[in-house]
């Protein structure tokens, strides 16, 4: 289901390292700092890939990422989505690692049928600025995440010198829907609302929830 660089565009290439450790994921701590942690019981699999648009002329490189996480139930995926929205409201600035941070963050959520969300159970969008001691900044930053049944898919982009926000949005706006189409094909059995049928038992609710995880535009936490 996860994208290769070609899903973002011909100018996009792999970075090194290309893939994250599939046994760990990034979670946001109480101090608004990202850290790697073991996968919780409700997560069956997760993978993050990292990409780049190389710098050219007067423009700096652009960092991109995609993450696909498969939960045990659709309800677990919904709890991850809810957790991410709650955390984003509490953290207007996030530390990716020493010397690299996200600032001026703002988030919006769209249920199916709201806004332009006609392809996922719920869609989250976060925008802001990314700043790095080594790469400079602040540059435009954008992160999108959507759920489809038990699958959570996200993309992120961090700009570079001379890159405009519209250019970055164009890079990522097609990749996430294409991954959702792949997810729908793999899952099968989706009802008209885009949820897995039958619905998970309510007893798998809050007690099975997982912490929020986000793809990292700077190459892994």
pLDDT of 2-22, one tens digit each?
Answer: 999 999 998 999 999 999 999
Express each pLDDT in 115-171 by its tens digit: 778 888 899 999 999 999 988 889 999 999 999 999 999 999 999 999 988 888 888
Whether omega before 55 lies within 30 degrees of 0, making that bond cis, reads no
Q: Please choose, from the candidates 5, 154, 147, the residue with its C-alpha nearest in 3D space to the C-alpha of residue 68.
A: 154
Instruction: Report pTM.
Output: 0.83
As a whole-number percent, the residues of the chain with pLDDT over 90 amount to 50
Q: Is 106 or 219 the better-scoring residue by pLDDT?
A: 106
Q: At what angle do helices 165-172 and 175-187 cross, to 10 degrees?
A: 20
The predicted structure's pLDDT at residue 198: 33
């Amino acid at each position: 289901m996860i994208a290769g660089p070609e899903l973002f565009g011909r100018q996009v290439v792999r970075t090194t390292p290309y893939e994250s450790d599939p046994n760990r994921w990034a979670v946001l701590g109480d101090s608004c700092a990202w850290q790697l942690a073991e996968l919780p019981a409700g997560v069956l699999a997760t993978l993050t890939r990292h990409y780049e648009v190389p710098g050219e002329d007067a423009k700096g490189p652009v960092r991109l990422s995609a993450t696909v996480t498969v939960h045990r139930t659709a309800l677990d995926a919904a709890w991850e989505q809810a957790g991410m929205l709650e955390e984003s409201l509490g953290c207007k600035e996030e530390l990716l690692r020493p010397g690299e941070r996200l600032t001026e963050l703002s988030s919006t959520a769209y249920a199916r049928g709201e806004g332009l969300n006609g392809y996922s159970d719920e869609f989250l969008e976060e925008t802001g600025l990314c700043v790095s001691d080594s790469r400079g900044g602040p540059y435009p930053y954008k992160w999108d995440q959507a759920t489809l049944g038990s699958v959570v898919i996200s993309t992120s982009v961090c700009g570079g010198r001379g890159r405009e926000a519209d250019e970055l949005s164009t890079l990522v706006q097609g990749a996430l829907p294409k991954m959702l189409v792949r997810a729908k094909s793999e899952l099968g059995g989706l009802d008209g609302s885009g949820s897995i049928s039958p619905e998970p038992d309510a007893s798998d609710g809050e007690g099975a929830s997982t912490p929020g995880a986000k793809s990292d535009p700077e190459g892994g936490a």
